[in-house]
């Protein structure tokens, strides 16, 4: 009979650990979004939090690490963790339960993948590719003016850029995560609809910056504009 091998110290988290830390992440996020733990307030110690949430310290630390990366809390050496930003409670209304941490990781993936796709699209795009992108942008303009969500059109614009890269693996990679990507787009565009129209207009200006760089054949500018757009979308999830 084979002997079970114990995981080495520091081994990767199991799916169960990741799911549990995501739940803890969302519980702490809810406390902050509700105002129960206001901006500037210090979070309870790890010992207290782990008891309150009934999780191990390693699981709690993973959740706190994600909250720091998202700019929601900040750690001060020797003092503990403090609330830095209060997200809008609408985040918890629009996002499926337990999905927010995963949405943020999807944005990280997109920034890397789509930045490179935009870089190549600027070098390889055809007139047909540009026409396809232009059509999606014009449809998004209409959605903004008429107060529509525009999720599918937003997604189609990004897909057109991956197609224009001339490398089908960018499209394959995005297709494999399309459900996650659409969930993130629905969240960010729904949140934008709760804000003044200038929010969606800002997002649209970012789209046009990407398009203009691709049209001009400026690969570096296209990569930078795409990465900035996706990273800004990630951060806008937590703008209160």
pLDDT for residue 13: 44
Residue 232 has pLDDT above 50, yes or no: yes
Mean pLDDT of the region 192-203: 90
pLDDT at 97: 65
**In the predicted model, what is the mean pLDDT of the chain?**
89
CATH number, domain 91-236, options 1.20.120.530, 2.60.120.10, 3.40.50.12780, 2.40.30.10 = 1.20.120.530
Place 240 in a pLDDT band, splitting at 50, 70 and 90.
low
Residues of the chain with CATH 1.20.120.530: 91-236
Residues of the chain with CATH 1.10.10.10: 15-86
Quick check: 37 and 81 in contact, CB under 8 A? no
Look at 90 and 218; give whichever has higher pLDDT. 218
The token pair at 63 is: 């959740």
86-100: average pLDDT: 82
β-bridge mates for residue 73, sequence order: 83
Share of the chain above pLDDT 70, in %: 91
Q: pLDDT band for position 18 (50/70/90)?
A: low
Cβ distance 202 to 229 under 8 Å? Answer: no
Candidate from 10-14, 107-111, 204-208 with smallest mean pLDDT: 10-14
Q: How do residues 21-79 score in pLDDT, each as one tens digit?
A: 888 999 999 999 888 999 999 999 999 999 999 999 999 999 999 899 888 999 998 88
The confidence score (pLDDT) of residue 96 equals 77
Q: Is the pLDDT of residue 206 over 90?
A: yes
pLDDT tens-digit profile of 136-184?
A: 999 999 999 999 999 999 999 999 999 999 999 999 999 999 999 999 9
The mean pLDDT value for 202-230 works out to: 98
Q: What is the CATH number of domain 15-86?
A: 1.10.10.10
User: Which of the four pLDDT bands, split at 50, 70 and 90, describes residue 194?
Assistant: confident
């Amino acid at each position: 009979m084979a002997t079970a091998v114990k995981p080495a110290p520091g081994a990767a988290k199991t799916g169960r650990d990741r799911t549990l830390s995501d739940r803890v992440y969302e519980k702490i996020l809810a406390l902050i979004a509700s105002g129960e733990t206001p901006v500037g307030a210090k979070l309870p110690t790890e010992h207290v939090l782990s008891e309150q949430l009934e999780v191990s310290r390693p699981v709690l630390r993973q959740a706190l690490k994600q909250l720091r990366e998202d700019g929601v809390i900040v750690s001060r050496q020797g003092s503990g963790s403090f609330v830095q930003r209060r997200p809008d409670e609408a985040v918890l209304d629009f996002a499926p339960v337990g999905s927010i941490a995963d949405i943020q990781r999807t944005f990280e993936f997109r920034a890397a993948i789509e930045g490179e796709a935009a870089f190549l699209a600027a070098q390889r795009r055809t007139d047909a590719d540009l026409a396809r992108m232009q059509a999606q942008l014009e449809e998004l303009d209409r959605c903004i003016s008429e107060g529509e969500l525009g999720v599918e059109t937003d997604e189609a614009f990004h897909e057109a850029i991956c197609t224009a890269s001339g490398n089908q693996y960018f499209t394959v990679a995005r297709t494999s995560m399309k459900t996650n990507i659409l969930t993130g787009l629905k969240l960010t565009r729904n949140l934008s609809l709760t804000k003044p129209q200038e929010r969606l207009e800002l997002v649209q200006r970012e789209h046009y910056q990407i398009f203009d760089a691709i049209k001009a054949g400026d690969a570096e500018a296209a990569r930078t504009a795409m990465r900035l757009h996706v990273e800004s979308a990630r951060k806008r999830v937590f703008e209160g």
